[in-house]
């Protein structure tokens, strides 16, 4: 039987949530990945080192016995984050990035940044200590079309910010447009990008195929086909600045299938399997290991994992739902669909 053995991959962008849900959500990642960059947009957000350490312990408590998995914690940037906070975070050795959510851009981002240019001393401190800024790159101006918010953010924020701080290490999270991806390629090695499975699999028409599909609604929203094609072309090229970040974002079935459904796609139960299918469909299966297991670790300056995972070519059906906690269900990416690669 055909199989692939990979250095254990890492997930450089994930949402675990909190409370009872951790016990259901963390194990999906822990079985597949060696490490994950854990997003800090809880309610309230993880803004201090103490909050992050307490959250880390709750995540660690949810890792099943025998899993070789390490959560990498992040801080949520606010208008009040100081250079001293950054230095303390770095010194702790436990914080791997600081997340910029423009206020109101996505789930639990109300406490986010309203004026990034007022935070230059904080960002300079990040540059000095080598802590990356992880950016949700969308403008929040309601006058800007939802499909254009990433491109506008590139022009209004990313380019001017990097002109002021050319050595700031930046990860453009869940890149969705050819514009942003091409910018990363031109920017030099200190700018990287995560790429989700959904932005490689689907375009914006898929949200409306046969009716409205709330489980394909995420932020940044799916884009035109030409953007999906460009992202596929780049990851298939093996460019080291692009790496795996699922942005797996669990919301209950009830919260997704509602009159005003939440943004976020829950891909954790089949993430590496889906990426394998994508790379295979692109004729680039030999580039999967770089994207999934090497590029992110190299960008963050961390050692590559030493253990391995194996995928076998054996069809399986992604379950229709998974428990979220004792009341709610999660509908995963590819629910009820057959995948050809299966985790051993
Ligand atoms: Zn996210």
Q: How far is 58 from 115, CA to CA, in rounded Å?
A: 32
Report CA(259)–ligand 1 centroid distance (Å).
22
Among 20, 115, 247, 325, the active-site one is 247
The CA-atom distances, in angstroms, between 254 and each of 149, 214, 310, 327, 332 are 27, 11, 34, 10, 13
13 pLDDT band, cuts 50/70/90, is very high
Report CA(111)–ligand 1 centroid distance (Å).
15
**Token pair recorded at residue 174:** 């869940």
1 pLDDT band, cuts 50/70/90, is low
Q: Contacts for 49-54 with beta carbons within 8 Å, 24 or more apart?
A: 49/75, 49/85, 49/88, 49/89, 49/92, 49/94, 49/95, 52/89, 52/94, 52/95, 53/92, 53/94
CA angle 184, 189, 194 (to 5 degrees): 50
**Model confidence over 150-206: pLDDT tens digits?**
999 999 999 999 999 999 999 999 999 999 999 999 998 899 999 999 999 999 999
Tell me what pLDDT residue 54 has.
98
Tell me what pLDDT residue 297 has.
98
Report CA(230)–ligand 1 centroid distance (Å).
21
**Model confidence over 56-100: pLDDT tens digits?**
999 999 999 999 999 999 999 999 999 999 999 999 999 999 999
**Model confidence over 297-334: pLDDT tens digits?**
999 999 999 999 999 999 999 999 999 999 999 999 99
In the chain, the domains with their CATH numbers are: 3-343 (3.20.20.140)
Report CA(104)–ligand 1 centroid distance (Å).
13
Report CA(246)–ligand 1 centroid distance (Å).
8
DSSP state of 114: S
Contact 307, 20 (CB under 8 A): no
Catalytic residue flag (residue 247): yes
**Token pair recorded at residue 2:** 């055909």
Report CA(218)–ligand 1 centroid distance (Å).
9
Report CA(72)–ligand 1 centroid distance (Å).
15
Helix pair angle (49-61, 83-92), 10° resolution? 40
109 pLDDT band, cuts 50/70/90, is confident
Give the DSSP per-residue string, 243-259. Answer: EE---B----HHHHSST
């Amino acid at each position: 039987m055909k199989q692939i053995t990979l250095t254990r991959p890492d997930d450089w962008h994930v949402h675990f949530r909190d409370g009872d849900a951790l016990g259901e959500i963390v194990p999906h990642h822990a079985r597949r990945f060696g490490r994950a960059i854990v997003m800090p947009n809880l309610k309230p957000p993880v803004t201090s080192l103490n909050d992050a350490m307490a959250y880390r312990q709750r995540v660690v408590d949810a890792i099943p016995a025998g899993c070789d998995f390490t959560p990498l914690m992040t801080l949520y940037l606010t208008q009040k984050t100081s250079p001293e906070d950054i230095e303390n975070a770095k010194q702790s050795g436990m914080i791997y990035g600081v997340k910029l959510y423009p206020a109101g851009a996505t789930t639990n981002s109300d406490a986010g940044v309203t004026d990034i240019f007022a935070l230059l001393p904080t960002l300079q401190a990040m540059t000095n200590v080598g802590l990356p800024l992880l950016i949700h790159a969308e403008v929040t101006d309601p006058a800007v079309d939802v499909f254009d918010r990433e491109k506008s953010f590139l022009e209004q924020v990313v380019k001017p910010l990097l002109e002021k701080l050319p050595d700031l290490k930046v990860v453009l999270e869940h890149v969705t447009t050819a514009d942003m991806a091409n910018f990363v390629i031109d920017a030099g090695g200190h700018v990287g990008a995560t790429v989700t499975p959904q932005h490689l699999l689907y375009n914006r028409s898929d949200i409306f195929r046969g009716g409205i599909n709330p489980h394909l609604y995420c932020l940044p929203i799916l884009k035109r086909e030409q953007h999906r094609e460009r992202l596929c072309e780049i990851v298939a090229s093996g460019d080291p600045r692009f790496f795996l970040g699922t942005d797996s974002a669990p919301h209950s079935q009830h919260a997704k299938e509602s009159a005003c459904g939440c943004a976020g796609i829950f891909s954790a139960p089949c993430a590496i399997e889906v990426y394998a299918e994508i790379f295979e469909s692109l004729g680039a299966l030999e580039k999967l290991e770089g994207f999934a297991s090497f590029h992110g670790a190299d960008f963050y300056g961390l050692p590559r994992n030493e253990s391995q995972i194996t995928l076998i070519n054996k069809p399986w059906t992604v379950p229709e739902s998974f428990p979220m906690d004792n009341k709610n269900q999660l509908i995963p990416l590819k629910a009820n669909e057959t995948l050809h690669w299966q985790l051993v």
